[in-house]
Amino acid sequence: MSKFWKPGTERPRLLDDEEGGVLFYSASPISSSGYGYANMEKQRQRLPVYKYRTAILYLVETHATTIVVGETGSGKTTQIPQFLKEAGWAEGGRVIACTQPRRLAVQSVASRVAEEMEVKLGEEVGYTIRFEDISHTDLTRIKFLTDGVLLREMMDDPLLSKYSVIMVDEAHERSLSTDILLGLLKKIQRRRPELRLVISSATIEAKSMAAYFSTRKRRHGPAENMKHGPSTEAAILSVEGRGFNVEVFYLEDPAPDYLQATVSTVLSIHDREPMGDILVFLTGQDDIDAAVQLLLEEAHNSRYQGLIVLPLYSGLPRADQDLIFSPTPRGKRKVVISTNIAETSLTLEGIVYVVDTGFSKQRFYNPISDIENLVVAPISRASARQRAGRAGRIRPGKCYRLYTEEYFLNEMSAEGVPEIQRSNLVSSVIQLKALGIDNILGFDWPASPSPEALIRALEVLYSLGAIDDDAKLTSPAGFQIAEIPLDPMISKMILASNGLGCSEEVITIAAVLSIQSIWVSARGSEKELDEAKLRFAAAEGDHVTFLNVYKGFVQSSKSAKWCHKNFINYHAMRKALEVREQLRRIAQRLGIGLKSCEGDIQAVRKSVTAGFFANACHLEPYSHNGMYKTIGTSQEVYIHPSSVLFRVNPKWVVYNSLVSTDRQYMRNVISIDPSWLTEVAPHFYQHKQPNPMVH
Ligand code: CDP
Ligand code: MG
């Protein structure tokens, strides 16, 4: 490679196994499509977990909890549920569940398994993610779902009684919902000795997990225990690795712009290296779209014509997901530009080169300021190793790290911090309350959250009227808020709209807020996008603007052409419509009347305030640069340039979320009248009277 690079000394762990490698050496990139059943069966048998089939089934039979550790791509997710089904765990109407932290992974592995079993997706093999249920109450035997959805299912069925085995997959990620789920499953096990847990993880930090699941006191003596049920000690099984060596390269000097560095690295691989697909790890949709666009511009250049550039992030439409998995045509080279979803959740065949920018989007929460941010932050060394490992799937590969070796060794942390220790816990705490766990501080967590974050969550729930003085869920408000599968602040906004006569509008807003963005990201045509936004812009703010977009979309008969003309993301709008329908159904079930305010925007603004009063801010009186201060904690915040209120700067606003770049920016902002704050949240504002006299 160019003089940019120097070979590193680091070898990714779990990649040194020679044994299984030979089998795959001559295999060209394999894809699911176009292969008959026999081939699919052969493919299954070649996966490392296949050799452990008997061992896995024996351990599950004899242990309440089995922990399976195996490198990404070894077949844990797609094979273990099938083994369990073949062994009879889904007989008698029972269901095998397999959870994933990510929605896209759920969809993708479910369709893969349905294909392998030659059944129609949604029947014997199904999946459920929030707002999308492709499963059948009677037919589905293997069900993939997000860990968040399984938590929700506990509200109707606290012991998850229809499941015989629950496989908690990707446990190494330590996502917030995974940890809460593990805590609750441990409790369920005590009540349901026949339930089996399989915890699967791509890394070897399984010991602490095993200890967590083995601390249970035995009620009977050991002999009796054996007679009556499975061992309560957790078993650990390690599926040996099978990847090829991956040569790691580092930058000699830090890259000033990782997007540019990404693009030039990809082009230089394409120029100099033999065929083989490239996987790039970037941070989020914005970055990814930008990189795709830059590469596509280059791909017009005849020199780079062999490049097929594809984005991969959650929320990607199904058709685009399929492209990721379809085989690369001969003579072409696929470049997949992904979030860390491709780190361990999804295995792409055919990858030989990995470009790792060293960053991912991570949640950070400060319970003192009560601010949660999604920030681009350095990954851990463990993640960097996982990413590198993706290059060694079909033959020895290469990984280009867009940072220095020194940075890797001295700056990156060894492991990531569990998400539960860096998240706002409002949603989790209300769910635990709804499940009857009253002593939140005494809950047996797999990793303890900070007491400050827990207390903060209780305070917020109290101010929303969801819990009472004894920290018990209020009836009906608390139960209703818990029931709506959205952030409690958004749920509260919907509840408030009932009394204000604008539930139709507010549900539309909630649906749009649940979508990442309804605008087409338009690098290079920002001006046109701004002009398009102006066509819908409402003086009151972004929420009302969403209503205008929604109205326009419906009036256009939901036309894709109309969306294209207005820089609106058609798929996002379709999704918003679907979510809206589901929310309307939930609202009706909860006794919220569906009513339109017929243009009484004040009612809508009040409803938003009723949910988001804690995010109220006022413009600093002598600020010339649009600086706001939050009422609660006096943080400096600014309106995000993407907001229709950017540069408009009304005196009082509430916002939905903050993003932090060079400053703290408020996203989705609406102007309010400060007198509403005491009206909708007397509890919250009784000590911090917002002073309307500041202006
Ligand atoms: O869970 P783990 O990382 O251990 O492996 P897996 O996801 O079960 O993947 C096993 C095999 O299935 C790999 O060769 C994947 O490439 C393949 N697979 C696929 O072709 N399409 C999918 N949608 C999912 C998996
Ligand atoms: Mg997996």
CB 176 within 8 A of CB 420: yes
Lowest average pLDDT, out of 18-22, 250-254, 399-403, goes to 18-22
Number of Cβ within 10 Å of residue 222's Cβ equals 10
According to DSSP H, which parts of 484-612 are helical?
A: 488-500, 503-513, 526-536, 542-555, 560-565, 570-589, 601-612
Give the lowest-confidence range in 222-236, 476-490, 528-542: 222-236
Region 625-653: mean pLDDT is 93
Compute the distance from residue 390 Cα to the ligand 2 centre, in Å: 13
Query: Residue 215: what pLDDT?
Result: 60
Residue 377 pLDDT greater than 50, yes or no: yes
Contacts of 125 (CB under 8 A, 6+ apart): 110, 113, 114, 117, 119, 140, 141, 142, 143, 144
Nearest CA to ligand 1 atom 17: 347
Asked if residues 66 and 230 have their Cβ atoms less than 8 Å apart, the reply is: no
Q: In which band, very low, low, confident or very high, does the pLDDT at 353 lie, cut at 50, 70 and 90? A: very high
By CB atoms closer than 10 A (0-12, 13-18, 19+), residue 561 is exposed
Torsion of CA 320, 322, 324, 330, to 10 degrees: -110
d(CA 673, CA 426): 26
Cα-Cα-Cα-Cα torsion 570, 573, 575, 579, nearest 10 degrees, comes to: -170
Closest atom of ligand 1 to 31 CA is: 20
DSSP 693: G
| Element containing residue 133 per DSSP (H, E) | strand 132-134
Cβ of 112 less than 6 Å from ligand 1: yes
Task: Tell whether the model's pLDDT for residue 278 goes beyond 90.
Answer: yes
Atom of ligand 1 nearest to the CA of 346: 7
Nearest bound ligand to the CA of residue 327: 1
Among 41, 43, 112, say which to mutate for ligand 1: greatest number of ligand atoms within 8 Å of CB: 112
At residue 489, does pLDDT exceed 70? yes
> What's the rounded Cα separation, in Å, for the pair 295 and 317?
21
Mean of per-residue pLDDT scores for the chain: 88
76 pLDDT more than 90: yes
Host H or E run for residue 196: strand 196-201
> 69 C-alpha to center of ligand 2: Å?
10
Verify whether ligand 1 is closer than 6 Å to residue 70 (CB atom): yes
pLDDT score of 311: 94
Say which ligand is closest to the CA of 170. Answer: 2
- Judged against a pLDDT cut of 80, whether residue 259 lies above it is answered with yes
Atom 10, ligand 1: residue with shortest CA distance:
75
Per-residue pLDDT band for 242 (boundaries 50, 70, 90) equals: low
Q: Where does the pLDDT of residue 11 fall: very low under 50, low under 70, confident under 90, or very high at 90 and above?
A: very low
Q: What is the ipTM of this complex?
A: 0.98
Least confident of 87-101, 359-373, 573-587: 359-373
- Identify the pLDDT of residue 541: 97
Q: Tokens 């949660």 correspond to what residue? A: 372
More confident residue, 345 or 207: 345
Strand pairing partners for 125? Answer: 121, 142
Ligand 1 in reach of 72 Cβ (< 6 A): yes
* Mean pLDDT calculated for residue range 80-97: 97
pLDDT-based confidence at 687, cuts 50/70/90? low
640 lines ligand 1 (CB under 6 A): no
Note the pLDDT of residue 318. Answer: 76
| Segment 613-636 mean pLDDT | 91
476 cis-preceded (ω within 30 degrees of 0): yes
Distance set, CA 395 to CA 241, 506, 521 (Å): 14, 53, 36
CA separation, residue 245 to residues 2, 353, 437, 503 (Å): 21, 12, 48, 57
Looking at per-residue pLDDT, the higher value among 139 and 661 belongs to 139
* Sign of the Cα pseudo-torsion (214, 220, 222, 223, in order): negative
Tokens of 247: 């040569």
- Matching residue, tokens 């959805």: 149
Question: Residue 578: is its pLDDT beyond 50?
Answer: yes
Ligand nearest to the CA of residue 69, numbered in listed order: 1
Q: Say if ligand 1 is within 6 A of residue 422 CB.
A: no
Q: What is the pLDDT of residue 243?
A: 80
What pTM value is reported for the model? Answer: 0.89
Q: pLDDT at residue 8 above 70?
A: no
Q: Are the CB atoms for 429 and 472 separated by under 8 Å?
A: no
| Residue 388 pLDDT grade (very low, low, confident, very high; cuts 50, 70, 90) | very high
- Three-state secondary structure call for residue 516: coil
For ligand 1, whether the C-beta of 74 sits within 6 Å is yes
3-state SS assignment for residue 395: coil
Q: Is the CB of 201 under 6 A from ligand 1?
A: no
Probe ligand 1: pick from 39, 78, 100, max atoms within 8 Å of CB? 78
| Ligand 1 atom with the shortest distance to the CA of 71 | 4
| Position in ligand 1 atom list of the atom nearest CA 49 | 4
State how far the Cα of 114 lies from the Cα of 120, in Å rounded to an integer.
6
Give pLDDT, residue 24: 19
Closest ligand 1 atom to the C-alpha of 32?
20
Mean pLDDT of 5-26: 29
Question: pLDDT at position 35, please?
Answer: 46
For the cut 80, the answer to whether the pLDDT of residue 579 exceeds it is yes
* Ligand 1 binding pocket includes 277 (Cβ within 6 Å): no
182, containing H or E segment:
helix 176-191
Residue 651: what pLDDT? Answer: 96
Model pLDDT for residues 589-607, shown as the tens digit of each residue:
999 999 999 989 999 999 9
Beta pairing class for 636-639 and 628-630: antiparallel
For CA atoms 219, 221, 225, 228, give the dihedral sign. Answer: negative
* Residue 3 pLDDT: 38
Q: Using CA atoms, how far apart are residues 189 and 165, in angstroms rounded to an integer?
A: 11
**How would you write 399-430 as a 3-class SS string?**
EEECCCHHHHHHHCCCCCCCHHHHCCCHHHHH
Q: Do residues 314 and 287 make contact, with C-beta atoms less than 8 angstroms apart?
A: no
Ligand 1 atom 16: residue of nearest CA: 347
Percent of the chain past pLDDT 90, that is, above it, reads 71
Q: Is 671 in the pocket of ligand 1 (CB under 6 A)?
A: no
Q: Give the least confident one: 134-148, 216-230, 349-363.
A: 216-230
Region of 148 please: left (phi>0), alpha (psi -120 to 50) or beta: alpha
pLDDT digits (tens, 9 = 90+) for 149-184: 999 999 999 999 999 999 999 999 999 999 999 999
In the predicted model, is pLDDT for residue 383 greater than 90?
yes
User: In the numeric block, which tokens belong to residue 89?
Assistant: 């765990």
Which pLDDT value is given to residue 379? 96
Task: Please give the DSSP secondary-structure letter assigned to residue 536.
Answer: H
Index of the ligand 1 atom closest to the CA of residue 239:
4
pLDDT of 653 higher than 80: yes
pLDDT given at position 13: 27
From first CA to last CA, the distance across the chain in angstroms is 62
Q: Which comes out higher in pLDDT, residue 1 or 683? A: 683
Where b means 16+ CB within 10 Å and e means fewer, 420-445 reads bbbbbbbbbbbbbbbbebeebeebeb
Tell me the CA–centroid distance for residue 169 and ligand 2, in Å.
Answer: 7
Ligand closest to Cα of 72 equals 1
Averaged pLDDT, 271-288: 93
